[in-house]
């Protein structure tokens, strides 16, 4: 496994486990993250808050990396995200429904840390699975 692949896997593992202080090992202090719906976070503190919010609503949130491709400075990953919605998130209310969705992550790396991340998520499938929109 390359150093960049370990970086991407470590980033997701830190977020999933709630190790928000550990995120700094994987992302630059001025990281920019592009999420679905036009949400853009800038900086490590905002990234920590994004993970904190997600984990509060989905305490069993998990990202399972299926495949990573890239040259070290730029990576793309195919990921399966799963969990149970227990709080309010992305316009959906808690009702204890489980979900399993696809995600694509694109990451630019500089000096051994992520400087920019794009996350493309199957939001429609998520909203259907948790009952926020009709199936």
Helices vs strands, H then E, count in the chain = 3, 6
Looking at residue 21, its pLDDT comes to: 95
Looking at residue 37, its pLDDT comes to: 72
Looking at residue 117, its pLDDT comes to: 96
Looking at residue 107, its pLDDT comes to: 97
Which positions ≥6 away from 131 have C-beta within 8 Å?
A: 92, 95, 97
- Across the chain, which distance is largest between two alpha carbons, in Å? 45
Looking at residue 86, its pLDDT comes to: 92
CATH number of 3-129: 3.10.450.50
Q: Averaged in consecutive runs of 10 residues, what is the pLDDT profile of the chain (135 residues)? A: 88 97 96 85 92 94 96 93 90 85 97 95 92 83
């Amino acid at each position: 496994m390359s150093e960049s692949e370990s970086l991407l896997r470590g980033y997701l593992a830190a977020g999933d486990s709630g190790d928000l202080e550990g995120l700094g090992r994987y992302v630059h202090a001025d990281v920019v993250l592009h999420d679905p719906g036009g949400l853009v976070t800038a900086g490590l503190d905002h990234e920590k808050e994004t993970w904190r919010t997600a984990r509060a609503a989905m305490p069993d949130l998990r990202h399972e990396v299926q495949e990573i491709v890239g040259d070290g400075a730029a990576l793309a990953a195919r990921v399966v995200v799963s969990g149970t919605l227990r709080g309010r998130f992305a316009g959906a209310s808690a009702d204890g429904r489980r979900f399993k969705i696809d995600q694509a992550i694109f990451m630019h790396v500089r000096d051994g840390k992520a400087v920019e991340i794009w996350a493309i998520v199957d939001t429609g499938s998520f909203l259907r699975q948790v009952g926020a929109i009709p199936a």
